Amino acid sequence: MTELRNDGNGEEPRVVVRDRRKIDPETGEVRRPEAAEAEPQQAGETGPAGAPGGSAPAAGKADSDSGAAAADLQKQLEERTADLQRVTADFANYRKRVERDRLAVIESAKASVLTELLPLLDDLERADAHGDLTGPFKAVADKLHSTLRSIGLESFGNEGDPFDPLVHEAVQHSTSPDVKEPTVTTVLRRGYRFGERVLRHALVAVTDHEPEPSAEQAEQTADQAEQQSSADN
């Protein structure tokens, strides 16, 4: 198709030839419609916006849109990263809490079973004190004590230990100048603990410190004893 164009400056019209054939005469391939309709841009031709080729404003707008899109993507990436970090921290705390609760349940179950076995240990201790725990029975008792110790059961309450109200239960009291502090002098029932948990307090007799009497007090006591003896006679 031939088209005449007049630039309005008094010169001869410029002839523009548009090739609208759908088949390329050289290659024989089918042309795309946009390729057939496209018109070559003449060098120095003024675009709609008055700029050469009309491409400068479009390029600036494309760069601006690309920068805004990149900033939006960066913001979304930061938000998703923060969300992922928060979820990861929450899950780690959840796993720690579940593991802590699981261990607490196991420890509680062990402590419950060990508490039920304490009367049996008392019977074995009394039998050993009376000399009845001999032969195969002693071997079984020793194996039982060894197994319970390996699990974590620990006995306490021995004569001569300082009195501790957190683990000892005093049922008898006496005084003596031979001790410097409240001391366990008799163990009536042994105590047991499992880890940091006290399964049973030890029943003990406690002796408190009694200051030694002075010479004057000793003399007065002797006189009182002599007078009482005379009165009795």
25 in a domain, yes or no? no
Query: What pLDDT sits at residue 51?
Result: 46
170 in a domain, yes or no? yes
14 in a domain, yes or no? no
CA trace torsion 59, 64, 67, 69 (10° rounding): -100
3 in a domain, yes or no? no
Say how many Å lie between the first and final Cα of the chain, rounded. Answer: 161
Higher pLDDT, 128 or 30: 128
162 in a domain, yes or no? yes
Biggest CA-to-CA distance, the chain: 168
190 in a domain, yes or no? yes
Q: Using the predicted structure, report yes or no on whether residue 102 has a pLDDT greater than 80.
A: yes
Structure confidence at residue 39 as a pLDDT band (50, 70, 90): very low
* 106 close to 152: Cβ distance less than 8 angstroms: no
Sequence-ordered list of residues with C-beta below 8 angstroms from that of 173, at least 6 positions apart, any chain: 205, 206, 207, 208
Among 66-75, 185-194, 214-223, which is the least confidently predicted range? 214-223
Among 7-21, 72-86, 164-178, which is the least confidently predicted range? 7-21
Kindly tell me the sign of the dihedral angle through the C-alpha atoms of 37, 42, 43, 44. Answer: negative
Domain CATH number, residue 169: 2.30.22.10
* 38 close to 20: Cβ distance less than 8 angstroms: no
pLDDT digit string, tens, across residues 178-211? 888 999 999 999 999 998 899 999 999 999 988 7
Domain with 201 in it: 153-210
Please give the structure tokens belonging to residue 191. Answer: 């105590």
203 in a domain, yes or no? yes
143 in a domain, yes or no? no
Q: Using the predicted structure, report yes or no on whether residue 2 has a pLDDT greater than 60.
A: no
Q: What is the DSSP letter of 39?
A: -
How many helices (H) and strands (E) in the chain? 4, 8
Residue 175's SS3 state is strand
Number of domain units in the chain: 1
Q: Using the predicted structure, report yes or no on whether residue 22 has a pLDDT greater than 50.
A: yes
Share of the chain above pLDDT 70, in %: 68
Among 17-21, 66-70, 99-103, 154-158, which is the least confidently predicted range? 17-21
pLDDT digit string, tens, across residues 113-171? 999 999 999 999 999 988 888 889 999 999 999 999 999 999 999 999 999 999 999 99
